[in-house]
Amino acid sequence: MPKINTADSTSLNPFNFIGILLCIFGLLFFLLCIISCLGINRENLKLLRISLIAQFVTLIIFLTFAIIILIWGETIRNRISKTMMIGLKIHYHIDKAWTAFFDKLHMSYFCCGVYSFNDWNDNPNYACTSSNILQSLDACSVPFTCCKIQQKEVKNSKYIDTKSLSYTCGTNTLPSNNTTIDMNEIEERININGCFDEILPVIQQLIITASIFMLLICIIIFITILLTCLLTFEIRLTISNVRRHCRKKRHTDQNDYIEKEEETF
């Protein structure tokens, strides 16, 4: 029997975009750290000014994202659910990553579809329509990963073994215009609850965690800005004292020279 490799994930485009964005931001943050270290090590005011400006911009960006996540939490949840529905309707069985994502979701959270198992009626392969019944073997069905399994079979497993699943347990489970279904009989075979409600607490926890994490980063950046400002002030004060001392030394040397000249005459 085949195994589903849940580690395969190649083209979840919306999530890949977020990952690429984080990588770019991480690279820019790394360059900022190098500039800051060079400015501190060499006591270079120009590098420290660049570091201060970059830190201030970073603080504004993180603070903005933290506020957006907290205020638009509901919008983010709706966006995630819509993205999942698009993946279910268009990409399942076509895109390897989306297929692995939903299969893992079904078997880990004992759910089916996004909002309910009826969502699979929106997928062209599983739609229970008169035209699709003649064209697709999966018509009026749901994926076999929606079938009920024991929790111990999927706990702490990188690979989901499908030996305990019947590939026909999800057949004839979707309603059509001409047929009715026995919900009691279907509930014995498949999980009927949607996956989004199951993972919603996880999403909410991630939103709160991300907001707290960004606020903590904002506090750290604010402290580094204060320390950089203090260091810049100390460097300027030191340079000013050195220049004052040099001018005073030069003036003293000139007076000594004049006195010696006067004594000579």
Q: For residue 110, tell me if it sits in a domain.
A: no
In the block, tokens 């018509």 appear at: 139
Q: For residue 3, tell me if it sits in a domain.
A: no
In the block, tokens 């079904």 appear at: 106
Q: For residue 6, tell me if it sits in a domain.
A: no
Cα gap 218→61, rounded to integer Å: 9
Q: Can you give the pLDDT at residue 102?
A: 92
What tokens does 55 get?
Answer: 């830190």
- For the chain, the domain total comes to 1
Q: For residue 211, tell me if it sits in a domain.
A: yes
Q: For residue 67, tell me if it sits in a domain.
A: yes
String of DSSP letters for 216-259: HHHHHHHHHHHHHHHHHHHHHHHHHHHHHHHHHHHHHHHHHHHH
Q: Can you give the pLDDT at residue 4?
A: 42
Contact between residue 142 and residue 120 where contact means Cβ atoms under 8 Å apart: yes
Contact between residue 105 and residue 80 where contact means Cβ atoms under 8 Å apart: no
Domain holding 234, by residue range, is 14-93+204-248
Distances (CA, A) of 18 to 153, 203, 208: 32, 16, 18
Q: For residue 61, tell me if it sits in a domain.
A: yes
Cα gap 265→244, rounded to integer Å: 32
What pLDDT, in 10s, does the model give residues 209-218?
888 888 898 8
147 pairs with which residues across the strands? 190
Closest CA to 154 of 168, 143, 167, 165: 165
In the block, tokens 């969502």 appear at: 119
Cα gap 231→225, rounded to integer Å: 10
What does the buried/exposed string (b/e) look like for 17-42 if buried means 16 or more CB atoms within 10 Å of the residue's CB? Answer: eeeeeeeeeeeeeeebeebbeebbee
In order along its 265 residues, the chain shows pLDDT tens digits of 334 444 444 455 555 666 787 788 788 888 888 888 888 777 788 888 888 888 898 889 888 888 888 888 788 889 889 999 999 998 888 888 889 999 999 988 999 999 998 899 888 888 888 787 778 787 888 888 888 875 444 444 544 444 445 566 777 777 776 666 777 888 888 888 999 999 999 888 888 888 888 889 889 889 988 988 888 888 888 878 877 877 777 767 666 656 665 566 5
Q: For residue 236, tell me if it sits in a domain.
A: yes
Q: Which run of H or of E encompasses 139? A: none
Q: Can you give the pLDDT at residue 16?
A: 66
Contacts of 141 by beta carbon, 8 Å cutoff, 6+ apart: 120, 126, 170, 171, 172, 173, 174
Q: For residue 7, tell me if it sits in a domain.
A: no
